[in-house]
Structure 1
Amino acid sequence: MDAEISRADNSWPLLHQASWYGDHDKVEAFLQTGADVHGIDDEGETALHQAAWRGHTEITHSLLMANADPDARDYTGQTPLHHAASTGSETAVIELLTVCADPRIEDDDGRKPHSLAEENFHHSTAEILREKETQLFGHVVLPDTDSIPRKKRGGPSVDVAVIPFLPLHEGTSLSFEEYGQSSTSSTSRIRLRLNSGEHEFYFLKTGPNGDVFAGEYESLSAIHKAVPSFCPRPIAHSKFLDLKRFFLLTEYIDMEAIDENQPTGNSLAQKLAQLHSTPVPIPEGYGAPVYGFHIPTYVGGTRQPNIWSPSWSDFFGETRLRFVERLVEKARGPDPELHSLLDRVILEVVPRLLGPDHLGGETGIQPSLVHGDLWAGNKTRGKIGRNGGVEDLVFDPGSFYAHSEYELGIMRMFGGFSSGFFKEYHRYRPKTAPVSEYGDRVELYQLYQWLSHWALYGREFRDNAKGCMEKLLHDYGKSQA
């Protein structure tokens, strides 16, 4: 095998894949057989970028010893040091700094590695980077909280369709600038200068699919009603006058107001437990709360149908797993092995773990409002409004009414939530009975995410989905009865 040119089925170089998944033995084997340590993937990233992002320090060391460039820049201008700083991987940061990775390099949005660390609340990592830069280059590097990417927009102004939703008065001036980033929409900040000289800010998303913003508006509305301090208040969603684009207007999260010595409100774990414990409304035509939501919602670009169902096991099996199977086949083609495994999971495992006569014991479970897409990139700490304090906040939801532990599936997949977070959360929201099956339920909920990621991003997630299904079937399939 020529490791230099060999690639996985998804066109990801094998050295990148092994570096991402932390397979040190394979990395060493690929390097010994001539893999190109400088090779890049479709995003301009080297294998060192992958290892640094995931915090795989031994692999980072091996790649550096094979003369990987510590200052290689991807297509956004970020180096491996930016990646390690973003995720707070201190050992990888130190490894990179040891071989003289340059902490002064700015990405295409003008952010140094320490800025990305601060933006993601990895303050001790940021301090390591600032101290190293001061030591090497002889100037004091101050904390940088002004690290949210934004660029002045010279031409366009706020569409007149947005104006009625803003508190404009005589003497109020308005400005508009690109702000933040999103994979599915354009994002901007609206600044109002009041007669008093103070400023008010609003956040605006625009895009071609109005249903996306309708779903996000209703999701934010439901979360804000249940726990007002947990997310920005949605203000409006509508279409622009040209009818070709739509918008969502919300309160603005000031992430630059963070002060570690400033008191905050309830923690993220407390707020999430409160959200999951708030009674949910009863839809018209039903006598009790049910699972689903009154409109479709979106996770990234994936539309989620939310057809009402009184049975959680039926909803999850059919409206989530069976639906995402169709997405995979549409995007990746028929897969008989997938279909066979998933069919057994839906028919055998889902009823055993989530059946109404089993889950929750004698009392059963009640629907809970979930954020629906709560990974590390959809949480932050910031201030909303001129008079509020700094809070733990969430955004970009794709909500519906579900078993509360469904939320924990994606939260446990990609990091960003410590064991201390889950311990605190379960003090306020205990694990559902049977507690012994808690880990298996979370793994079952992760299956939906693995399948969804397979549909969106390619075959590297197929093995995750397959392994998950095989384990669940081994433990809970009918053959084990």
Structure 2
Amino acid sequence: MTDPFGVLPDPNDDTPKYRPSLNPDDPIVSSLQKALKSSRVKSFELIDSRWNGNEVMKYECEDDKVYFVKMNRVEDPSVFVSEGVSLSALAKTKTIKTPIPLHIGKLPKVGDIGPGSFMVLEYLPLVPFGSMRPDNQVKLAQNLAELHSSKVHDELHKGRFGFPTSNFLAVTPLNNTWCGGWSEFFSRRLNDQLNRLHTEKAYGPAVLPTTNTPLDQKGTIILNSLNLLLGSDHAQITPSLIHGDLWVGNTGATKAEVVVFDPAACFAHSEFELAIMNMFGGFEDTFWNEYYRLMPKAEGFETRAKLYAFYHYLNQLNLFGDSTVAKQCDDIATDLVNTLNEINIKNEFQ
């Protein structure tokens, strides 16, 4: 999968780059008025800005229509197309609220930056820290359990793991080609992360310039014994639609309901969703107690939780190359290899 991300611009510099305006010829303004039939745009404001260059704006029109607009000055429109497909898939389950994608367009290249793209979304009046309220933590747990149990897409996935489109975890490209079993799909995902450690990215050099490092060696052992770590019933794992990037920063709430956004959806093991949620925190005991009441932990859960955490820590290492994260990856890999040794010893005496 081609990396569609260019070199990310520093948002604080004064380098020539596309800047939103109220000019009728502005690509965002034009799309609101022409594609979405809104009246004249009267204002816009920055709502959120993230490290990968994504910015979320609020646009208001004179006919009282309001929109979220998510833009990136260096992304190909295909990135937002894949996100839009994820949002639509989640929305179709009617289990958890997401902003509805309305339009995707291109941003011009200005100076050396671009071209980029943008996505217009349904505006949702989010309450500050709304998803952190105890009652909303319970609602989120209930909604997520309903999502993971939904049968709406059974005819789409047909028992397979993957997704109709590839997508991105932050700026990491994800191969969602359909696989018949979870072990095969997750093995490919994990192998991609391990290989990416040695790949130069548009946003930085390879994390590990040499191959066959201790982390590589442990990663190979884990890949070769993946079925043991997934558990004896791994072949019975069934696909659930997951959000795919559900850290607390991708949750919110209106006065009426909990909201999730910025997904990287796929049909996967429902437990895979939980790893990134545990990694970054922000989900309280009220959430976990309710979720596990509705979706009880299956045998082997703790080992799989470490395995899925390993994947997400590898992704963080690939994104940022941080030495602290590198140690966390190595510690988890060591723990998983030790677990495999214990399983093998146990099997010898059975």
TM-score when normalising by structure 1: 0.58
Pick 1 or 2: higher relative contact order, CA cutoff 8 A, min separation 6.
Answer: 2
CA deviation vs aligned residue, 1:156-214 (integer Å, no higher than 9, x gap): 54342443342426xx65433333223332321111232xxxx3311111222222211
> Is structure 2 residue 229 aligned with structure 1 residue 353?
yes
Whether the 8 Å contact between 2:272 and 2:308 is mirrored in structure 1 is yes
| Alignment partner of 1:201 is 2:69 | no
Which residue type is aligned with residue 359 of structure 1? H
Matches within 5 A, 1:15-414: 157=26, 158-168=28-38, 174-184=42-52, 185-194=54-63, 199-207=64-72, 208-227=75-94, 229-240=96-107, 244-256=115-127, 267-279=139-151, 281=153, 288-318=158-188, 320-330=189-199, 331-332=206-207, 333-336=209-212, 337-348=214-225, 350-354=226-230, 358-359=233-234, 364-382=236-254, 389-414=255-280
Q: Which has the higher mean CA deviation after the structures are superposed, 228-237 or 406-415?
A: 228-237
1:177 touches 1:189 (CA, 8 Å); kept in 2?
yes
2:119 is paired with a residue of what secondary structure? strand
Is 1:446 paired with 2:309? yes
| Alpha-carbon separation, structure 1, partners of 2:149 and 2:223 | 27
Q: Say whether the 8 Å CA contact 1:238–1:247 is kept in structure 2.
A: yes
Judge conservation of contact 1:258–1:390 (CA < 8 Å) in 2.
Answer: no
List runs of 5+ in structure 2 lacking aligned partners.
Answer: 1-10, 13-18, 200-205
Which runs of 5 or more structure 1 residues have no equivalent in the other structure? 1-74, 77-151, 383-388
Separation in 2, partners of 1:317, 1:276: 21
CA contact (8 A) 1:205 1:247 kept: yes
How far is the alpha carbon of 1:246 from its aligned partner?
Answer: 1.6
Q: 1:353 & 1:268 partners in 2: Cα distance?
A: 29
Tell me the distance in 1 between the aligned counterparts of 2:80 and 2:274: 24
Pair 1:289–1:391, CA change in 2 (3 A): same
Determine the C-alpha separation between the residues in 2 that align with 1:183 and 1:159: 25
What's the C-alpha RMSD, in Å, of the aligned pairs? 3.0
Match of 1:38 in 2: none
Equivalent-residue separation in structure 1 for 2:162 and 2:241 (angstroms): 9
Contact 1:366 1:403 in 2 (8 A): yes
- Kindly tell me the number of residue pairs found equivalent between the two proteins: 308
Query: CA contact under 8 A between 1:292 and 1:315: conserved in structure 2?
Result: yes
Q: For the residues of structure 1 that align with 2:20 and 2:177, how far apart are their CA atoms?
A: 41
CA pair 244-159 structure 1, distance change in 2 beyond 3 A: farther
Q: Structure 1 residues 472 and 212, CA, compared in 2 at 3 Å: closer, same or farther? A: same
CA contact (8 A) 1:210 1:246 kept: yes
Amino acid at match of 2:190: L
Shift of 1:322: 0.3
TM-score normalised to the size of structure 2?
0.79
| CA-CA distance at 1:255 after TM superposition | 2.2
Residue 340 of structure 1: SS of its match in structure 2?
Answer: helix
User: Does the 8 Å contact 2:314/2:329 carry over to 1?
Assistant: yes
Distance across 1 between alignment mates of 2:249 and 2:176: 24
Aligned counterparts of 1:455 and 1:214: Cα–Cα separation in 2: 24
Q: Which residue of 2 aligns with 1:25?
A: none
Residue 166 of structure 2 contacts residue 176 of structure 2 at CA under 8 Å; is this kept in 1? Answer: yes
